[in-house]
């Protein structure tokens, strides 16, 4: 396991302090109380999640050691992954950074799986703007997207709502993948659906990785 430290933080295996230090730097997320690898530490230092310290480069004060003793990855896993929906994809150390960031944000920033708030996956209606790649010219344009469970569709508009949606995707066959296909954007998403027995893909992104949550 020392060879793939990301598995510790992504999956939350290690629950103790005094890790044998591998050649990879081991970082501590001070607010959550978990050990993370260098890659994941970049997400854990987002202010809304907390701050990080290197166990090799930084002075680790006694209080933090005690905090880590009473928390740790195993306890964090119990708390922050109490009710992960069975269909939610858990990234592994081999997955891309975007996928890991979304997982870490969902777990620690939005606390989606602690069971304390209503499941965000039961969202019935949502609308917002995403940048969508044009089918013909490949240029990204800002489009209004509406997700409606009542209608059973995800639809988008190129102009005024009153003139009707430009595209509709049945929710039942909807699938979304981060960084799928050829989107050269950090928070890019490939959305596919099956329509008339054919698979259709659209490519979207948003500047804020959080916003794409509802399509995940
Ligand atoms: Zn990691």
- Ligand 1: distance of its center to the CA of 92 in Å? 9
The three state secondary structure string of 158-210 is CCCHHHCCCEEEEHHHCEEEECCCCCCCCCEEEEEEEECCEEEEEEEECCCCC
Please tell me the least confidently modeled range out of 52-61, 70-79, 171-180.
Answer: 171-180
CB of 53 within 8 A of CB of 27?
yes
- Ligand 1: distance of its center to the CA of 38 in Å? 7
In sequence order, the β-bridge partners of residue 73 are: none
CB of 193 within 8 A of CB of 199?
yes
- Ligand 1: distance of its center to the CA of 16 in Å? 16
Pick the CATH number of 6-109 from 2.50.20.10, 1.10.220.150, 1.10.3720.10, 3.40.50.1820: 1.10.220.150
pLDDT digits (tens, 9 = 90+) for 114-128: 987 665 555 677 778
In sequence order, the β-bridge partners of residue 126 are: 147
Total H helices, total E strands in the chain: 5, 10
| Structure-model confidence comparison of residues 125 and 52, the more confident one | 52
* pLDDT of 131 higher than 70: yes
Domain positions in the chain are 6-109, 123-215
- Ligand 1: distance of its center to the CA of 4 in Å? 8
- Ligand 1: distance of its center to the CA of 23 in Å? 14
Could you give the dihedral angle defined by the CA atoms of residues 202, 91, 38 and 188, in that order, rounded to the nearest 10 degrees? 10
- Ligand 1: distance of its center to the CA of 37 in Å? 4
- Ligand 1: distance of its center to the CA of 146 in Å? 34
- Ligand 1: distance of its center to the CA of 203 in Å? 27
Question: Who contacts 55 (Cβ-Cβ below 8 Å, separation ≥6)?
Answer: 19, 21, 25, 26, 27, 28, 35
For ion ligand 1, residues whose CB falls within 5 Å: 6, 9, 37, 40
144 phi, psi to nearest 5 deg: -85, 125
pLDDT value of residue 98: 80
CB of 110 within 8 A of CB of 211?
no
Mean pLDDT of the chain: 77
pLDDT value of residue 118: 60
- Ligand 1: distance of its center to the CA of 140 in Å? 31
Three-state DSSP class for 50?
coil
Pick the CATH number of 123-215 from 2.120.10.80, 2.30.29.30, 3.40.50.2300, 2.60.40.1840: 2.30.29.30
Q: Does the model's pTM come out above 0.85? A: no
* pLDDT of 2 higher than 50: no
| Structure-model confidence comparison of residues 20 and 85, the more confident one | 85
Using CA atoms, how far apart are residues 38 and 75, in angstroms rounded to an integer? 21
pLDDT value of residue 17: 34
* pLDDT of 51 higher than 90: yes
pLDDT value of residue 121: 56
- Ligand 1: distance of its center to the CA of 188 in Å? 21
pLDDT value of residue 73: 83
pLDDT digits (tens, 9 = 90+) for 134-183: 988 888 898 988 888 778 888 899 888 788 899 888 887 777 777 645 56
- Ligand 1: distance of its center to the CA of 11 in Å? 9
């Amino acid at each position: 396991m020392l060879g793939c430290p990301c598995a510790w933080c992504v999956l939350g295996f290690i629950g103790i302090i005094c890790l044998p230090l591998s050649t990879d730097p081991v970082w501590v997320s001070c607010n959550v109380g978990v050990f993370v690898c260098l890659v994941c530490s970049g997400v854990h230092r987002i202010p809304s999640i907390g701050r990080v310290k290197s166990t090799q480069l930084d002075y680790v004060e006694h209080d933090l050691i005690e905090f880590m003793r009473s928390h740790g990855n195993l306890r964090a896993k119990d708390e922050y992954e109490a009710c992960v929906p069975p269909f939610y994809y858990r990234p592994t150390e081999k997955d891309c950074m975007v996928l890991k960031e979304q997982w870490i944000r969902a777990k620690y920033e939005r606390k989606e799986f602690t069971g304390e708030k209503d499941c965000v996956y039961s969202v019935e209606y949502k609308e917002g703007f995403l940048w969508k790649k044009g089918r013909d010219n490949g240029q990204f344009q800002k489009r209004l997207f509406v997700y409606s469970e009542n209608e059973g569709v995800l639809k988008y508009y190129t102009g005024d709502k009153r003139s009707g949606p430009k595209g509709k995707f049945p929710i039942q066959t909807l699938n979304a993948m981060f960084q799928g296909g050829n989107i050269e954007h950090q928070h890019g998403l490939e959305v596919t659906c099956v329509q008339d027995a054919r698979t259709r893909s659209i490519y979207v992104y948003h500047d804020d990785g959080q916003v794409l949550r509802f399509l995940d």
